[in-house]
């Protein structure tokens, strides 16, 4: 995409990011290496996501007895993974935020209607008071993401308190999500060329969940 919507953030194209993405895109990459390098990107995504949370002024006393005027996070957060691929991103969130609450949403395509259908949702009981990091490695058509966002909204989460984190995004998915939800924020590592006739991201990296959890 030549011009990104205002609520879409892409990680800077550094040599490190490009090298990590090249490794996980390679079909010859072994599962252990795929997991290791995917986890590195996920950690970078989480750190960038945290950068977009609001802060408040906070004054503390250092061990030298001096006052320091810094900042602290405003409000509580939680993660919500779109099963099953999104579960691969949970550890990266835990490594940045100790004891973070994590919810789960299972969405699958209805074979009769071809529309995304909610099968399961377990969310923190106070989710409406939290900022939510929605986790899913791939944003293709946007169908599952839109359904998951609707679930969050129906449980009282304010749209502007949702940050959607993913490794790869297709322009079609970005347009679908941002045209419907203009207040949330999408944070992605890379925006690919688009979707093929089977709705797979190209050049893509294959099925992220299969490669992370079950690839030989």
Phi-psi region of 189 (alpha: psi -120 to 50; beta: other; left: phi over 0): alpha
Is residue 188 one of the residues assigned to a domain? yes
pLDDT > 70 in the chain, percent: 96
Q: At 134, is the pLDDT very low, low, confident or very high (cuts 50, 70, 90)?
A: very high
What is the span of the domain harbouring residue 74?
A: 8-213
Per-residue pLDDT at 213: 92
Task: Calculate mean pLDDT across residues 107-128.
Answer: 84
Q: Is the pLDDT of residue 66 over 90?
A: yes
Per-residue pLDDT at 98: 84
Is residue 185 one of the residues assigned to a domain? yes
Per-residue pLDDT at 84: 86
Residues marked as catalytic: 109, 113, 207, 210
- Residue 67 CA from chain centroid, whole number: 36
Per-residue pLDDT at 94: 94
Could you tell me which residues are beta bridge partners of residue 169?
139, 191
Domains in the chain: how many in total? 1
Which of 211, 212, 194 shows the shortest CA–CA distance to 203? 194
What are residue 173's phi and psi, to 5 degrees? -70, -40
Per-residue pLDDT at 216: 61
Per-residue pLDDT at 1: 65
Per-residue pLDDT at 26: 96
- pLDDT tens for residues 73-102? 888 999 999 998 999 999 999 999 888 999
Which of 81, 37, 76, 207 shows the shortest CA–CA distance to 138? 207
What are residue 98's phi and psi, to 5 degrees? -65, 140
Is residue 2 one of the residues assigned to a domain? no
Is residue 69 one of the residues assigned to a domain? yes
Among 100-114, 126-140, 151-165, where is mean pLDDT lowest? 100-114
Is residue 3 one of the residues assigned to a domain? no
- 187: domain CATH number is 3.40.50.2020
- pLDDT tens for residues 163-175? 999 999 999 999 9
- pLDDT tens for residues 142-159? 999 999 999 999 999 999
Q: At 2, is the pLDDT very low, low, confident or very high (cuts 50, 70, 90)?
A: low
For Cα atoms 75, 80, 83, give the angle at the middle one, nearest 5 degrees: 175
Is residue 16 one of the residues assigned to a domain? yes
Q: Is the pLDDT of residue 176 over 80?
A: yes
């Amino acid at each position: 995409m030549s011009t990104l919507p205002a609520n879409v953030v892409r990680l800077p194209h550094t040599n490190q990011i490009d090298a990590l993405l090249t490794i996980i895109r390679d079909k010859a990459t072994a599962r252990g290496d795929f997991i290791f390098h995917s986890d590195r990107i996920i950690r970078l995504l989480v750190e960038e996501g945290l950068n977009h949370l609001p802060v408040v002024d906070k004054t503390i006393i250092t061990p030298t007895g001096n006052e320091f005027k810094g900042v602290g996070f405003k409000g509580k957060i939680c993660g919500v993974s779109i099963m099953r691929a999104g579960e691969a991103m949970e550890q990266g969130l835990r490594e940045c935020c100790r004891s973070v609450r994590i919810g789960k949403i299972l969405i699958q395509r209805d074979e009769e209607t071809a529309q995304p259908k909610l099968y399961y949702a377990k969310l923190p009981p106070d989710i409406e008071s939290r900022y939510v990091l929605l986790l899913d490695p791939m944003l293709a058509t946007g169908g599952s993401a839109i359904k998951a966002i609707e679930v969050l909204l129906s449980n009282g989460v304010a749209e502007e308190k949702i940050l959607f984190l993913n490794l790869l995004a297709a322009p079609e998915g970005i347009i679908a999500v941002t045209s419907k939800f203009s207040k949330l924020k999408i944070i992605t590592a890379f925006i690919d060329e688009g979707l093929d006739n089977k709705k797979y991201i190209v050049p893509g990296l294959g099925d992220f969940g299969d490669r992370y959890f079950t690839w030989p």
